Amino acid sequence: MAIVYDHIMQLKSEPERFSYTDRESMLYALGVGFCQTDALDPQELRYVYENDLKTVPTMATIIAWNLRVLNNAGINYLMVVHGEQRLKLFRPLPSSADIIAQGRVTGCFDKGPGKGAIVLTETDISLASGEKLCTLGGTVFARGDGGFGGPAGSGPEPHQLPDRAADLTCELTTRHDQALVYRLSGDRNPLHSDPNFAKAAGFPKPILHGLCTYGTVCRAVLKTYCDYDHTKMKSFDVRFSAPVFPGETIITEMWRDGNTVSFRARLKERDVVVVNNGRCELAD
């Protein structure tokens, strides 16, 4: 099995219908840590209680979870790493909706033999009425698939963080069972739940989903710069740089320049950067 450039660049899914309810919205919020330290916090409660329910913007990554753009892509899936996640919102996510999603490959770059390949994807999600909801962008690092003869390159340039001390920080602790809760939103990869599988993959124990870290950092920005108002967030882009173990503390460092919030996240316990080159665009 190997990547064939002309083939992978033609990959796209058919428009597919999905639906979710307030149950999925509340479960996602619990999975990224809302109300974990204070179940009576009125700001966070509005994300996990159906009375005037708000939605976490990064929930967009799981509402069409079974859409598989990279089926038959010719890559070694055991060597795949989620490198980047991008999100552009055209309107706030409803707490429940019928949606239509369609994904496609937008780029594929050859880093060379033994150096892997970069695959870019995009997914457009609309309401069943036709109103555009959001666009997801992803970068996959296929570590075992370099040298297939494709063009050189590395995809989008990472967002550069300001060269000054962070304006504000937010410290959020993950639960030891957080991956077990988050996986109920769709990603049941045993890497995040099975100790034996995790050890076979080279980890001492199961790791937190990268997209759970993504949602947790979104929670930090919502709390710090949006006053928990989900309608203020228009985009949320990150580069993943290291895994998180459930129970570790994520410190998000943030800089604001106009409507742009730049950010990165590191672990308190290990001083490892887990999310880098983050960029969030706020509404006017």
- What does the pLDDT read at residue 76? 87
What are the DSSP E strand ranges found in 128-230? 132-142, 168-173
User: Could you say which of 1.10.10.10, 3.40.50.2300, 3.10.129.10, 3.30.300.30 is the CATH number of the domain covering 168-282?
Assistant: 3.10.129.10
The residues, ordered by sequence, that sit 6+ positions from 139 with a Cβ below 8 Å of its Cβ are 82, 83, 84, 85, 118, 119, 120, 155, 156, 239
Tens-digit pLDDT profile for residues 253-283: 999 999 999 999 999 999 999 999 999 999 9
pLDDT per position in the chain (284 positions), as tens? Answer: 689 999 999 999 999 999 999 999 999 999 999 999 999 999 999 999 999 999 999 999 999 998 889 988 999 887 888 999 999 999 999 999 999 999 999 999 999 999 999 999 999 999 999 999 999 999 999 988 999 999 998 888 999 999 999 999 999 999 999 999 999 999 999 999 999 999 988 899 999 999 999 999 999 999 999 999 999 999 999 999 999 999 999 999 999 999 999 999 999 999 999 999 999 999 98
What residue spans define the domains of the chain? Answer: 5-142, 168-282
Give the count of beta carbons closer than 10 Å to the beta carbon of residue 177. Answer: 11
Give me the pLDDT at residue 1, please. Answer: 67
Torsion of CA 178, 65, 85, 244, to 10 degrees: 20
For the structural domain made of 5-142, what CATH number should be given?
A: 3.10.129.10
Asked whether 189 and 50 are in contact (CB, 8 A), the reply is no
Residues 246, 278: contact at Cβ < 8 Å? Answer: no
CA dihedral (283, 225, 210, 193) positive or negative: negative
Helix 210-225 and helix 22-31, axial crossing angle in degrees, nearest 10: 90
C-alpha 101/C-alpha 87 separation (Å) is 14
Residues 275 and 267: their CA atoms lie apart, in Å, by: 10
Enter the pTM of the model. Answer: 0.95
Q: Residue 254 contacts by C-beta under 8 Å, 6 or more apart in sequence?
A: 166, 167, 168, 169, 170, 220, 221, 224, 225, 261, 262, 263
pLDDT in tens, 104-157: 999 999 999 999 999 999 999 999 999 999 999 999 999 889 999 999 988 889
Q: Do domains 5-142 and 168-282 have the same CATH topology?
A: yes
Catalytic (active-site) positions: 187, 192, 207, 210
